[in-house]
Structure 1
Amino acid sequence: MTGARGARLVQRVSSTRAFALFAPYVVPVLDRAVHRLTRGRVLLSARMLPGLVLTVPGARTGRPRTTPLACMPEGEVEGSWILVGSNFGRPGHPAWTANLLARGGEAVVNWRGRDIPVRATLLEGEERVRVWEAALAFWPPYAAYQRRVERQIRLFRLERR
């Protein structure tokens, strides 16, 4: 199964509660392992969605925390990405979002094997609404994730420093 049909199947599966139960424990572990083994050249989840690896100091410990994430590249020039703090539709905000907020948005992303210093901005108001609509068009399962949680899913724009 390939192409649009395969993409719809993956979207349907990733919208389920069952996926939300196991994916947070399986997908990042596999992504980190493959990313490390290929020296940053391959991110498994990026076969379906663009992906990057975010490194930001922990909010409490200050130790670097590395998280593979799906992203929505913005614009024609590399250097701006949208991150969606969906946490696979689970109740709490993902830890990486709290780390970004605690550290003033300073982080590093590994994009296609290159480390790039970035600054993250939490999107709010009309800008958030506009970007949320773009995110839903980009990956429709985000709508199912939002319906399952009471919190507003955080959106961040990352830009090169």
Structure 2
Amino acid sequence: MSNRRAMLTMTGLHRALLRRTGGRLGRQLGGMPVIELTTTGRSSGQPRTAILTVPHREPGPHGERLIVIASRGGDDLQPAWYLNLVAEPAVQVARVGEHPRPYRARTAEPEERARLWPLAVAAYRGYAEYQRKTAREIPVVILEPLEP
């Protein structure tokens, strides 16, 4: 069963909070930093922006790699942003109050997921519940900054 309406409502409220407070409120959620991920719509070709939490960060060759989880609250459907980045991995990432930077997105390989999933669950236990709610394996996505 899809929870699309609830997810869209929560995202809209979060965007409004960020906009109204100039990013003073809402830049973190549950202790995790919040980012705006802009993908290219796989059907429309238009920019699509999602607000996501980052449960884990780690050093990369060109800056901090960001780990995000394509959970959609445990829905059986993949998030649209995830399907978009699978179709076109060139994305933009903006931390609240910063200009977007180019990143390359990819789904973690099985051995990477085995290492990263527990770190994400440690940051937010809800991910484990989301995984129990759905038959699909929830993807772990690695966002790697491109060279400056």
Please state which band the TM-score falls in when normalised by the shorter chain: 0.7 to 0.9
The one-letter code matched in structure 1 to 2:91 is A
Q: Does 1:109 align with 2:93?
A: yes
CA distance in 1, matches of 2:24, 2:14: 8
| Residues 45 and 70, structure 1, Cα contact 8 Å, conserved in 2 | no
Q: Which runs of 5+ in 1 are unaligned?
A: 1-16
Post-superposition offset of 1:79: 2.8
Report the structure, 1 or 2, having the larger helix content: 1
Q: 1:62 aligns with which of 28, 31, 45?
A: 45
Q: Which aligned pairs between 1:111-126 and structure 2 lie closer than 5 A?
A: 111-114=95-98, 115-126=100-111
Residue 45 (structure 1) shift: 6.7
- Of residues 78, 101, 109 in structure 2, which corresponds to 1:93? 78
Residue 116 of structure 1 and its aligned partner are, at CA, apart by 1.5
Matches of 1:43 and 1:74, distance apart in 2: 21
Residues 21/119 of structure 1: CA separation in 2 closer, same or farther (3 Å cut): closer
Kindly provide the amino acid, as one letter, of the partner of residue 18 in structure 2: H
Inter-partner Cα distance in structure 1 for 2:33 and 2:77: 24
Give the letter for the 1:44 counterpart: G
Which amino acid counterpart does residue 52 of structure 1 have in structure 2? I
- In the alignment, residue 132 of structure 2 is paired with which amino acid? R
For 2:56 and 2:104, the matched residues in 1 are separated by 15
Secondary structure of 2:58's counterpart equals: coil
Query: Would the alpha carbon gap of residues 159 and 21 (structure 1) be closer, same or farther in structure 2, given more than 3 Å must change?
Result: closer
More strand by share: 2
1:74 maps to which residue? 57
Aligned residue for 2:132?
147
Match of 1:137 in 2: 122
Contact 1:43/1:51, CA 8 A, preserved across alignment: no
Task: Decide whether the 8 Å contact of 2:18 with 2:27 is kept in 1.
Answer: no
1:38 offset after TM fit, Å? 4.9
SS at structure 1 position matched to 2:76: coil
Conservation of the 8 A alpha-carbon contact between 1:30 and 1:44: no
Paired-residue identity, %: 33
Q: 1:38 to 1:63 in 2, by over 3 A?
A: farther
* Residues 2-13 of structure 1: pairs in structure 2 closer than 5 A: none
User: Given the alignment of the two structures, is residue 50 of structure 1 paired with residue 40 of structure 2, yes or no?
Assistant: no
Contact 2:56 2:123 in 1 (8 A): no
Give 5+ residue unaligned stretches, structure 2.
none
Mapped partners of 1:29, 1:61: distance in 2: 21
